[in-house]
Amino acid sequence: MALVTSEKMLLDAQRGGYAVGAFNVENMEMVKAVLAAAEELNAPVMLQTTPSTVKYGSLETFAAIVTAEAKKASVPVALHLDHGSSFELAVRAIKEGYTSIMIDGSHETFENNIEVSRKVVEVAKPNGIPVEAELGKVGGKEDDLEAEADTNTDPMEAKEFVERTGITSLAVAIGTAHGFYSGTPVLDKERLSEIRKVVSIPLVLHGASGLSDEDVKDCVKRGICKVNFATELRVAYTDGIKELLKEKPDTFDPKNFGKAGMEKVKELVKNRILVCGSDNKVIK
């Protein structure tokens, strides 16, 4: 089917008590692997690219690849700009066919974050494109942005932020981090529950790579409707290639590298879809 926006799938997840898996992809092979997993489990899915990924491959290239593959899929697929780093990049993504946009002003002041998020909404809304924003700082490193410490989302600021920006989903900081964790993460789940009480739009969990299945499931029960997975997909893809080269060091056909990476990514994505509870949620 054609690409869809993320708005309906996230609202459906909110009503159904599950979360949509949102997976960062770096190439055609990862796109195919994620969609194969979603097809097998009959799950709605979001494919995401970060600014560094589109700098490497371009918005046009990823939009073309995902659009072509989504047309062959029987499940809803959205193409999402993850951690959009500027108003200009968000607008370009909309023009190139992205069906969901994140503008990340979380490293700005509260007022500046509101300003840039509202500007993106003003452009996206007439085009029917939903907008995600982030409030609070998720730790770790995402592309060229690095947070030295977490600043968790304040519930009342979240309420004001949503009301003043008009965004359709909100990424919250509750102790997660981008990349893998150096220790055991401690999540402020009660804070998540407090945010859910005052914010009606779907909530998003970033930094899920490395969290336990139990933590993810608990966050979904407390109101998370979209869970981002990035780092572990990169590792899985690379591990597939490493294993192939260890077993068959003379391999030289790039297609074989791609197949090995895809197999690992597909199995990982299937697991994450099951953890999010979004399997068998597509009515055909």
The structure tokens 């970060």 sit at 50
Binding-site sequence positions for dihydroxyacetone phosphate = 179, 207-209, 228-231
pLDDT of residue 150: 52
> Does the annotation count 213 as an active-site position?
no
Look up residue 52 and give its two tokens.
Answer: 């560094």
What φ, ψ does residue 203 adopt, rounded to 5°?
A: -105, 150
Spans of all domains in the chain: 6-276
Binding-site sequence positions = 83, 104, 134, 178-179, 206-209, 228-231
Q: How many CB atoms are located within 10 Å of the residue 183 CB?
A: 5
Range in 96-100, 129-133, 208-212, 214-218 with the lowest mean pLDDT: 208-212
pLDDT bin (cut points 50, 70, 90) of residue 2 is: confident
Give how far the C-alpha of residue 94 lies from the chain's centroid of Cα atoms, to the nearest Å.
Answer: 17
pLDDT of residue 184: 61
Binding-site sequence positions for Zn(2+) = 83, 104, 134, 178, 206
Superfamily of domain 6-276: Aldolase class I (3.20.20.70)
Q: What is the pLDDT of residues 181-234, one digit of tens each?
A: 455 677 899 999 999 999 999 999 998 877 899 999 999 999 999 999 999 999
Q: What is the pLDDT of residues 109-120, one digit of tens each?
A: 999 999 999 999
Q: Is 173 helix (H, G, I), strand (E, B) or coil?
A: coil
Task: Specify whether the CB–CB gap between 1 and 77 falls below 8 A.
Answer: yes
CA dihedral for 106, 107, 110, 113, sign (positive or negative): negative
Q: Which of 82, 150, 215, 279 is catalytic?
A: 82
> How are strands ordered across the β-sheet holding 177-178?
145-147, 139-142, 177-178
pLDDT bin (cut points 50, 70, 90) of residue 146 is: very low
Q: What is the pLDDT of residues 153-176, one digit of tens each?
A: 999 999 999 999 999 999 999 987
Q: Is 102 helix (H, G, I), strand (E, B) or coil?
A: strand
Residue 166's region, left for phi above 0, alpha for psi from -120 to 50, else beta, is left
